[in-house]
Amino acid sequence: MSQKVSIISKLIAIILLVTTLSMAKEVSAYYQAPYQSLRSIAHQLKKAGFRILKVYAPAKKRYLRVIVFTDDNLITLASQKKRGFAAILKLVVNKKTKQVRVMNPSYWLQAYLQKQYIPGSDSTVNTSLRKALISLKPTSDTLPRKRLASYHFMIGMPYYADMLEFPYKNKIRKRDVLFRLKLKNGSQLIGIRMPKSVEEFIETTGEENALILPYTILIEDGKVYALHGKYYIALSYPKLNMGKFIKMRSIPDKIEMSIKRIVR
């Protein structure tokens, strides 16, 4: 009997070890943080060295607030050709569900910096984030670490490099500009407001990840770049299934049309 218990215990230990190793290969897109008021979180972020660029209500939902923030380390990492999207992090406060969720720098930097990502380059930002929010618990929204730099939803779908591209005519519709962030390489990352009817896609994909908004565009070398909607939405919602993706198949085109109107 004791021998059988010993064997079972060893099997359980092996299963736990394999599970742990497997999880280590997965990276969560977000952290869950203890619920605090918007004012308190903003104060703690500033105290930890972050600069707040915008507080935004996605799809005009009063109970949702997204804080867009950055620091010198993120700006430095993002100041490379077509890597400007890595310059910011976002956090959502949901007053209805009393939840706080923030982007995991390790996930987003690997996805956005592509081959330029250097392991450990996110450690300073992660340390500052933990200093601000104290307790961070990875969510179940994960992707394999090795897939992040070459991620796409499925065959035929866009990769990071397959960005939307428009000529920059030196003018952007001011009323839709939420923030501007100048990078060290001369590029500029701009947060934009899209129509409520477009931003309401978060009702289908899940408001817990409403920090997908606001959408951003990158001004660089006389052109306007934006992440393709099919790529960005799938990356932001790792658990998105084909059924939900089909339900919102018109959204990427609506996003593209919104950006065209803003930069024309």
For residue 212, pLDDT over 90 is answered with yes
72-92 average pLDDT score: 98
pLDDT digits (tens, 9 = 90+) for 9-45: 554 544 443 344 334 589 999 999 999 999 999 999 9
CATH architecture of 28-263: 2-Layer Sandwich (3.30)
- Confidence class of residue 4 from pLDDT cuts 50, 70 and 90? low
In the prediction, which pLDDT does 16 show?
A: 44
Nearest to 92 by CA among 49, 128, 125, 59: 59
Q: What is the rounded CA–CA span in Å between residue 130 and residue 109? A: 17
- Give residue limits of the domains in the chain: 28-263
pTM: 0.89
Categorize the per-residue pLDDT at 8 as very low, low, confident or very high, splitting at 50, 70 and 90: low
Residue 54 or residue 15, greater confidence: 54
Nearest to 38 by CA among 88, 86, 99, 85: 99
Quickly state the pLDDT bin for 169 (edges 50, 70, 90): confident
Write phi, then psi, for 217 (nearest 5 degrees): -125, 155
What per-residue string of b and e applies to 99-110 under the rule 16 or more CB within 10 Å gives b?
A: ebbbbbbbbbbb
The fraction of the chain above a pLDDT of 90, given in percent, is 82
Does pLDDT of 217 surpass 50? yes
